[in-house]
Amino acid sequence: MVYTALITPFLNGKVDYKALHKLIQRQIDMKADGIVILGTTGEFSTLSDYERKKIIRFCVNNFDFYFIFGIGGNSPKHIIKLGQYIRRFGNYTVLISSPYYNKATQDGLFQYFKYVIDKIQLPVIVYNIPTRTGVNIDPQTMRQIAKLPYVAGIKEASGNIAQIQEICRTVSVPVFCGDDNLALPCYAVGCTGIISVASNINVENVKRIYQDRNLQLYQKELPFYKSLFQCVNPIPVKYQLSKMGLCQNELRLPLTPLVSEE
C-alpha cells in the first residue's frame, strides 16, 4: 500500500481549498491507495480546530476515497474530541502520534494510547516519530499497544532498521514505512506499505518500488528522496509542488519557504 502524506496548501494565510481539491484529485488519478490528511506533512500543528474540522468535512463531502486523518497532539482530551468529531462521518482511520513535548515514560505512552483509542473507537494507525515528539516508542511498548482494540497499523519513522524489523516480527498489524529514504530496507524487514512524502510528486515510482522491490529504481530515486528532507518537511515538497503549479509556496510559521540558496 502507498498512502500519500498530503501537504495542506495555503493562500494568503488561509487554507486554499481550490488547490486542496486539485491535489486530492491528482492523488486519486495517480492511483494512490489512500491519503493522509492533517499529518506532519500537512502542518497540522499550526491549523486551528476550526480549520481541521473544515478540512475533514471538505474531504468527506467531496470525495469517496480512503482518507486517514491525523489527530496528533499532546492533550488527550483535545485528541479525543477531534476523533469523536471524525466518527460522525463514518469509520475513518485516524493517525495518532505519541504526544510531543510531554516526554512520557513507556508506561505513560501505553496508557495514553489505551485511553484515547478507547474513547475514539475508530481504526488507529499508531505513529512513532521520535525526532518530532522527543520520545521513541520502544518495540516492547509497541507490541503492547498493537494488541489494543481498534489498532489497525503502525507508522514507523524512527529511522532505526533494527527496531523496525523487531516490530514487524512481533506484531500482527501492518507496519508502514514512514521514511521514503528507507523504503526498500523497510520492505525487506517486513513493512507492508509506506506513508510517503515523495508520492505528493509522483505516486507511480513509489508504487513500483513497493510492488516490485525495484532496487535499481530505488537507488535512482534516492537523491530525490534525500532532497525532500534536506531541510524540514514539508518545506522542500511544498516548494516542488509550487514549481509544478499545484499550490503556492506558502507555509505557516515557524516554517518558512525554501529560499534560492537552499
The verdict on residue 33 lying in a domain is yes
What pLDDT digit, counting tens, does each position of 65-96 carry?
999 999 988 899 999 999 999 999 999 999 99
Instruction: Give the pLDDT of residue 260.
Output: 66
The verdict on residue 10 lying in a domain is yes
Out of 3, 112, 155, 207, pick the active-site residue: 155
pLDDT(206) > 80: yes
Asked if 155 is an active-site residue, the reply is yes
Out of 127, 187, 210, 239, pick the active-site residue: 127
The verdict on residue 258 lying in a domain is no
What pLDDT digit, counting tens, does each position of 107-146 carry?
999 999 999 999 999 999 999 999 989 999 999 999 999 9
Q: What is the mean pLDDT of the chain?
A: 96
Grid coordinates belonging to 13: 494565510
What pLDDT digit, counting tens, does each position of 137-172 carry?
999 999 999 999 999 999 999 999 999 999 999 999
- Give the number of domains in the chain: 1
- Amino acid sitting at position 141: T
Instruction: Give the pLDDT of residue 74.
Output: 86
Instruction: Give the pLDDT of residue 179.
Output: 96
The verdict on residue 256 lying in a domain is no
Q: For residues 220-234, give the mean pLDDT.
A: 94
Residue 126: name the closest of 155, 164, 150 by CA.
Answer: 155
The verdict on residue 251 lying in a domain is no
Q: What pTM was estimated for this model as a whole?
A: 0.95
Range of the domain at 70: 2-243
pLDDT(259) > 90: no
The verdict on residue 66 lying in a domain is yes
What is the distance between the alpha carbons of residues 136 and 23, in angstroms, rounded to a whole number? 32
Grid coordinates belonging to 212: 516490485
The verdict on residue 250 lying in a domain is no
What pLDDT digit, counting tens, does each position of 22-51 carry?
999 999 999 999 999 999 999 999 999 999
Q: For residues 188-207, give the mean pLDDT.
A: 97
pLDDT(6) > 90: yes
The verdict on residue 15 lying in a domain is yes
What is the distance between the alpha carbons of residues 36 and 18, in angstroms, rounded to a whole number? 18
Q: What CATH number is associated with residue 125?
A: 3.20.20.70
